[in-house]
Amino acid sequence: MIAKLPSITLLAALATVATAQTTPKATTTTPHHTTTAAKTATTPPNIPKVVGLPKPLYTLKYIDTKIGTGAPAAERKYYTVHYTGWLTNGTKFDSSFDHPGGEPITFPYGARRVILGWDTGFQGMHVGGKRRLFVPYQLAYGEAGRPPVIPAKADLIFDVELVSMSDTPPQPKTPPAPAAQPKPADTPSQPTTTAPSKPATDTPPAQPTTPPAQPTSPPAQPTTPPASSNNPPHPETL
């Protein structure tokens, strides 16, 4: 026989059950201890474990401003590049367009002939592409810089264009041919002049062999000295 409860008693029982289900239970908080594995960088098992996560020291950043349609940039090639470089305060310090003739430069990629930011900054580009490079000083001219143009610890900004790429350095341009010189036949002939002939030797005048005769008797002495007269030259004085 099933006993029937009054409806009021049934509602009271249902309310008690609902209250018991909604009342939060007391919880205990267990202190969480961070394990070493959570802060350990992933390393091969034969390398000793260290605590901590790797942090970036410096980063080369870039923005592709034009996607090239030529061949992709490759290692061990010669790159011909147009560029303009600025300091982070906006000062332009160099540009290939300001060089004589506005010619681009060529360098072997990855051969340490340029700053490290350039030796890695063209990866992923295509010939004809343009890119803006944000180069930290560690990948540029270092702590010392290149005074007075590049200050110490100077981060740099470059706009670069990969003009071409080749296996060998490009040949230098042939200088323009000099202007044509007139031929000898076109040059009017100059009259020839003959220097006057000179005597073989300059013959001195003949010397007298004997001195002039001396008078046998001296002339009478005048009471007053006569005016001085020119004496004949001595032969040895000639």
Give the catalytic positions in this structure: 83, 93-94, 115, 141, 158
Q: Spell out the long-range contacts of 223-229 with Cβ–Cβ below 8 A and sequence spacing 24 or more.
A: none
* DSSP bridge partners of 131: 64, 160
Measure CA of the first residue to CA of the last residue in the chain; give whole Å: 187
Contacts of 169 by beta carbon, 8 Å cutoff, 6+ apart:
78, 106, 108
Q: What are the structure tokens assigned to 151, written together?
A: 């200050």
Question: What are the two backbone dihedrals, phi and then psi, of residue 112, each rounded to the nearest 5 degrees?
Answer: 60, 35
Within 13 A of 158's CA, how many CA atoms are on the CB side? 27
CB atoms within 10 A of CB 54: 8
